[in-house]
Structure 1
């Protein structure tokens, strides 16, 4: 009983710390006017996607995540994936959108690196060059096989983070490590509680994304309690915490390969 009380106190302290840091950092729009209405919130390019015309001969895959709209932005992120094949001069973008018509998987819903209702996205994955066209083949197959294309629940899932986690599981070469505040990434149907972790590099046990744990090369060790994730990342040393995502070194997967550098 005493051990359980100490553990509960420790998790509570970590949760309060992560929420406090998220509030202090305030990942939501910097301009107050942008946050008043989702209709008027900024959706323009953040200027971080590589120029697809200048790099027309280069295949590119990137994954972004930005704070969700409104007060939820203090606790969760919305991710999406963009890519272009060698020879293309424009990106395709895929993410899951919970409102509007079904299916919820949308192509080119917004500009590739656009602000998410005022929130500036961060890059989680950046692959370019040799071998990326083959990676795109696998990504497109994963998009087609997403099992929740007609379902959406913001909590505990399936949602936009569930979608990217599915791609990560199906395409481990993507090396996608979704942050701890990607609520929904751990969602698994009650009939399949055991499987591959969202990065595709480990194992996971999860009951509807509400209770479970993951162990993997990319995500390290992570415990899920009611959708709140606590863990330790040893790949890029950091604490994995709810609300703020991570506290420590940044973890961005970058692979820029030329024909000369490819094995």
Structure 2
């Protein structure tokens, strides 16, 4: 009984500390809680993606995340993937958006590296050259096979993070590691509670994304309790925390080799 109390108190303390860090960060940036209307929020380029004209002969695949708009940015992030084949002078951007259409999968809804309603994106994955070219057909196939193209739930999923996690599972060479505050990445149907994590390598056991365990090549060890995720990344040492996502060494999966 004593052990249960200690675990419970520790869980609550970690939640509070992680939320406090997220709140301080949001207050400092002035993005998540400034009361700005979505229609006037910044959506221009963050100038992070390589110039597609300059790199016209290079295949490129990148994944970004950014805090969701408004107070929700204290809790979760919104991800998207961009890619272009060698010879193309423009990117293709894919993500899931809940409004505006019965089909939640959107193509080129926003600029490839645009601010997400005021929030600057963070680069998670950057693959270029022959290896990027080799994975693009698999990425396109994964987009086409997404199981919930007409469904969206903020919690526990399926949502935008569920979509990117699906692509990561289908394309392990992407080496995708969605942060702990990517709520929805662990969503799995009741008929398939066991499978691959978002990195495509490892093991995940998840009950509708609200209770589970992930052992992943990129994720490390991560526990999910009501979509609050805690864990440790051993490969790139860091704590995986709700609200803040990651505390420790920065991580960008890169491959620029030809």
Q: TM-score, normalised by structure 1?
A: 0.95
* Partners of 1:212 and 1:225 within 8 A in 2: yes
Shift of 1:131: 2.2
* Unmatched tracts of structure 2, length 5 or more: none
- Name the counterpart of 2:256: 256
- Name the counterpart of 2:234: 234
* Partners of 2:31 and 2:70 within 8 A in 1: no
Instruction: Tell me, yes or no, if structure 1 residue 157 matches structure 2 residue 157.
Output: yes
Shift of 1:30: 3.3
Residues 249, 37 of structure 1: CA spacing in aligned structure 2 closer, same or farther, 3 A cutoff? same
- Name the counterpart of 1:103: 103
* Unmatched tracts of structure 1, length 5 or more: 259-263
Cα distance in 2 for residues equivalent to 1:143 and 1:95: 9
Shift of 1:134: 1.4
Shift of 1:9: 1.1
- Name the counterpart of 1:43: 43
CA deviation vs aligned residue, 1:26-75 (integer Å, no higher than 9, x gap): 17863699742111111000010100000000000000000000101011
Residues 71, 33 of structure 1: CA spacing in aligned structure 2 closer, same or farther, 3 A cutoff? closer
- Name the counterpart of 2:30: 30
Instruction: Tell me, yes or no, if structure 1 residue 177 matches structure 2 residue 174.
Output: no
Residues 147, 33 of structure 1: CA spacing in aligned structure 2 closer, same or farther, 3 A cutoff? closer
* Partners of 2:26 and 2:33 within 8 A in 1: no
Residues 189, 27 of structure 1: CA spacing in aligned structure 2 closer, same or farther, 3 A cutoff? farther
CA deviation vs aligned residue, 1:103-129 (integer Å, no higher than 9, x gap): 100000001000000000000000011
Cα distance in 2 for residues equivalent to 1:243 and 1:34: 18
- Name the counterpart of 2:113: 113
Give the SS at the match of 1:17. Answer: helix
Q: TM-score, normalised by structure 2?
A: 0.97
Query: Runs of at least 4 residues of structure 1 off by over 6 A?
Result: 31-34
Shift of 1:217: 1.2
* Partners of 2:125 and 2:252 within 8 A in 1: yes
CA deviation vs aligned residue, 1:73-115 (integer Å, no higher than 9, x gap): 0110000000000011100000000112121000000010000
- Name the counterpart of 1:80: 80
* Partners of 1:62 and 1:83 within 8 A in 2: yes
Shift of 1:191: 1.2
Cα distance in 2 for residues equivalent to 1:160 and 1:28: 26
Instruction: Tell me, yes or no, if structure 1 residue 199 matches structure 2 residue 226.
Output: no
Cα distance in 1 for residues equivalent to 2:203 and 2:237: 20
* Partners of 1:75 and 1:242 within 8 A in 2: yes
* Partners of 2:188 and 2:206 within 8 A in 1: yes
Residues 136, 28 of structure 1: CA spacing in aligned structure 2 closer, same or farther, 3 A cutoff? farther
* Partners of 1:85 and 1:133 within 8 A in 2: yes
Cα distance in 1 for residues equivalent to 2:34 and 2:40: 6
